[in-house]
């Protein structure tokens, strides 16, 4: 997941991440797709698998008409670091 790659690039070490406060998951979707929360579940599940119980977070999942460079999903994370 690119959010983890971005954190590693910025922080140098993913162990500096001490918690996830919130995820915003934007899903490139057609108007009839009503389940962006299911896409966001994958992101939340991966973060929980990597960081365990301390990674519980608030989350918003929104279907949008378009995203930059025609990507399928964009994720914004608010994290705590040491």
Could you give the domains of the chain?
2-81 (3.30.1330.40)
Q: State the virtual CA torsion across 45, 51, 53, 54 in degrees, nearest 10.
A: -130
Q: For the segment 24-73, what is each residue's pLDDT rounded down to a tens digit? A: 999 999 999 999 999 999 999 999 999 998 899 999 999 999 999 999 99
Contact assessment for residue 72 and residue 40, using Cβ atoms and an 8 Å cutoff: no
pTM, 2 dp: 0.90
- Is residue 34 classed as helix, strand or coil in its secondary structure? coil
């Amino acid at each position: 997941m690119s959010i983890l790659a971005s954190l590693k690039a910025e922080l140098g070490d993913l162990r500096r991440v001490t918690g996830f406060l919130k995820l915003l998951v934007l899903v490139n979707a057609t108007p009839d797709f009503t389940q962006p929360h299911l896409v966001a579940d994958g992101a939340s599940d991966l973060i929980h698998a990597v960081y365990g119980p301390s990674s519980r977070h608030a989350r918003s999942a929104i279907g949008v008409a378009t995203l930059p460079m025609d990507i399928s999903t964009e994720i914004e994370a608010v994290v705590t670091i040491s």
